[in-house]
Structure 1
Amino acid sequence: MGSEEEISMVIRVREFIMEKDLTAVEELERRCQVGLSGDQGDRTSGDGSGNGKKKKKRGMSLHVEQIGDPFARVRHAPDHVMLVAEYGEEDEVVGVIKACVRMVSRGNTTSSSKTKKRKFVKMACLLGLRVSPTHRRLGIATVLVRRAEAWCAARGAAYATMATTASNAPSLALFAGRFAYAPFRRPLFLGHPVHRHRARVPRAHRVMQLPPPLAAAAYTALLSPTGAAEFVPADLPALLAHKLTLGTCLAIERNPDPALPLSFAVLSIWDATRSLRLRVSGAPPLLRASLAAARELDRHAPWLRVPSVPDVFRPFGTYLLYGLHMSGPEGPALLRSLCRHAHNVARNNPACAVVAADVGPNDPVAAAVPHWPRFSCDDDVWCIKKLNAATANSNASDDDDDDWTTTAPPAGVLFVDPREF
């Protein structure tokens, strides 16, 4: 096998040009989504999963495919790029990677004698790495990752993250092996299908929608005091006001017991039906038949209120729940009511078949979110690497551990930005 210098001579990496490269990149994405082994599927921290990535669960796989704008997952960041790799004399596009740099919370606080404030750091996200199945083992992925890291470091990124699944051995070998990324966090993907019947919200619970400015103030008050929320974006107000955020909902008790602490729950709903499609494969024939029978029964006897599941073996859309938080003795029940409310909102969109949330495994909300095991996954792995030691250290106070890569998982919130799912 030739040296890296020899390989780099036949691989040319440059920035994506929409008019020139769109068709070639779309074809590359399609070829990487047909289920061939060795796919470099990945996902960024705050992303749910990468293009075409498979989340394995009990013999089934959940495929996630991006649609529409190729920059959709990085466009919100002030610094973002898509790089393509050309190979050979004909300049064939054989690889692609996306990257962005954004400000996120580190999950702890800087302290002084009077105040505490959340610590933010510049974080690079590498995602959407694809290499043509006919051009693998040529070093193309290595060149793309190295160039993407250099681009992010030049823009002051202190850390770089990527994400994959524990079962994706090629991706882990590349990032954890060659590039020294360390496994960092293990979010839970919790999904629940949307069926035709309204989910019941108890009359004792009141659900209200918060306007974006009030929602931003509420999240600031809820997340800042603990200092344990990781990956909260510095532009959270812009996310809450985004056109695809359908609303931030607050649930409270109508007649709370004054002798008990105040209980409440809050979450925000993101419409991902326009940016990605999911599809379940590998389901046993018996399961397929039983779900089809349930749909047919519900169609002819709706009064039975059979929870018929949409046809998830064809591409479908999803609503993503983010910013989930609860407090008080009735917090779990109130959060379940909010999830039911989100289900009822999703019923109004024929393109939406599943409501899902990515949460930290140590977050108490994980036990309260309604989900079906077959639509859920605990296989995701977020990986991290210190990219710019000087920048990372400049963000740390004297009494803080300056290396985020070695910190233990927080007991609080792992914030997953739905824009990068």
Structure 2
Amino acid sequence: MDKEMGEEEKMAGNLVRVREFIMEDLPAVEELERLCQAGLSSDQGYNGGGDDANNKNSKKKEKKKKKRGMSLYVEQIGDPFARVRHAPDHVILVAEYGDDEQVVGVIKACVRMVSRGGSSWRKAKTKKYVKAACLLGLRVSPSHRRLGIATELVRRAEAWCAARGAAYATMATTASNAASLSLFEGRFAYARFRRPLFLGHPVHRHRARVPRAHRVLQLAPPFAAAAYAALFPPTPATDAAEFVPADLPALLAHKLTRGTYLAVERSPADAARRPTSFAVLSVYDATRSLSFRVGGAPPLLRASLAAARALDRRAPWLHVPSVPDVFRPFGAYLLYGLHMSGPSGPALLRTLCRHAHNVARKNPTCAVVAADIGPNDPAAAAVPHWPRFSCDEDVWCIKKLSSVATNGNAGDDAVVDDDWTTAPPPAVLFVDPREF
């Protein structure tokens, strides 16, 4: 079978042309998104030929209640460059097929500076930051699969990123997406790397209660950047945070970051006493770039949720925790930079999540507050979430593109890289909401 596929790809090679995206390609790319979203029953968009290499944009998140068949669909809306534009080096590549130059495939890529981990940081001189490429949004038209188009798109995207100094390439998919994993692990030698948890909670109509014993403060972007620099320092340590972007101050000041919030305990008896516990997180508005939708829900569940909403409208004083209509497209607010410290840290982080819920409920298009967190992060146990809006299917894969990883700063001496691909997972896995 592999031999036959290789022959098919060789025959199709002369018919495929990969080039950079131009705005005239937008209708064709949007049509690809639509085709790869329709009629999905298993691994979204990548069920046999090579189109979806990305976990966050147009994929199916399998629920823990798999027997019910509920799935959370995510698709991009608006600016086609939205998920890569923040990186100084970014590109969208499209694949044309045949003499009519029909656009039948697309992939996005960006190269950015991120902090990296590694168990041997204390044994070898390794750079704090590394140039890492992110491949996402791989799509191939269902009518043009098994022609080597996905392979050529990934190959060209990797070459583009390597030419811009990327030392590593990363991609994300789901554990159940056998076709995507086969393409990247089998053909391109990517290795499974990290398994973030997606934790979501519905936004209710009523305000969530914030304990009086807790005080929530909003940090201005410069103070937030200073706080995160102290919390997530890219220093030689086995517990260093991974994938913290070098341009974190720009993310904190981004127009879609609704704020960075700090929670501490009130101490009226000793106001000057330094707090022993605190929690911090930032809130990002993804309603303009992502659209979510729950599919596969049983009719009884749909009816019960609709009844709860109707009751809440008629008797709001009952404070029924009615869930918005998540069976139609809705938006989400993403939490990032979650951190807690001290004996009361978990309670303070839960308070911040409630505060984020109250911020999100002011936006009528937002129905879910969600966070991607590393499974080893203590914060994961403190984040309120519903199993039906959460999953542990995400898989990040990584590949080494060069033998030397540099941080791109002029004047730095070259250093030997201790191979990030084999490093054990740290406690903190930073997920950039701009690439969700």
TM-score by length of 1: 0.93
How far residue 212 of structure 1 moved from its aligned partner, in angstroms, is 0.3
Q: Which secondary structure state, in structure 2, belongs to the residue aligned with residue 107 of structure 1?
A: coil
How far residue 5 of structure 1 moved from its aligned partner, in angstroms, is 3.9
Structure 1 counterpart of 2:30? 26
Where is the strand percentage greater, Structure 1 or Structure 2? 1
Structure 2 counterpart of 1:207? 216
- 1:4-403 correspondence to structure 2 within 5 Å: 4-18=9-23, 20-36=24-40, 39-40=45-46, 42=52, 49-57=55-63, 58=65, 59-108=69-118, 119-224=128-233, 227-255=239-267, 262-391=276-405, 402-403=418-419
Q: Is the 8 A contact 1:107 1:118 kept in 2?
A: no
Q: Is the 8 A contact 2:196 2:375 kept in 1?
A: yes
Q: Which secondary structure state, in structure 1, belongs to the residue aligned with residue 329 of structure 2?
A: coil
How far residue 17 of structure 1 moved from its aligned partner, in angstroms, is 0.6
AA at the equivalent of 2:430: F
CA distance in 1, matches of 2:10, 2:431: 38
Q: Is the 8 A contact 2:308 2:320 kept in 1?
A: yes
AA at the equivalent of 1:55: K
5+ long unaligned stretches in structure 1: none
% identical aligned pairs: 78
CA distance in 2, matches of 1:409, 1:194: 31
Q: Is the 8 A contact 1:121 1:395 kept in 2?
A: no
How far residue 392 of structure 1 moved from its aligned partner, in angstroms, is 6.2
Change (3 A) 1:390 1:222: closer
Q: Is the 8 A contact 1:392 1:403 kept in 2?
A: no
Change (3 A) 1:42 1:236: farther
AA at the equivalent of 1:320: L
Q: Which secondary structure state, in structure 2, belongs to the residue aligned with residue 82 of structure 1?
A: strand
AA at the equivalent of 2:19: R
How far residue 267 of structure 1 moved from its aligned partner, in angstroms, is 0.2
5+ long unaligned stretches in structure 2: none
Q: Is the 8 A contact 2:117 2:423 kept in 1?
A: no
Q: Is the 8 A contact 2:204 2:322 kept in 1?
A: yes
AA at the equivalent of 2:209: R
Q: Is the 8 A contact 1:42 1:163 kept in 2?
A: no
Q: Which secondary structure state, in structure 2, belongs to the residue aligned with residue 153 of structure 1?
A: helix
TM-score by length of 2: 0.90
CA distance in 2, matches of 1:235, 1:69: 21
Q: Is the 8 A contact 2:8 2:147 kept in 1?
A: no
How far residue 391 of structure 1 moved from its aligned partner, in angstroms, is 3.5
AA at the equivalent of 2:20: E
Change (3 A) 1:396 1:63: farther
When the two structures are aligned, how many residues end up with a matched partner? Answer: 411
How far residue 303 of structure 1 moved from its aligned partner, in angstroms, is 1.2
Structure 2 counterpart of 1:407? 423
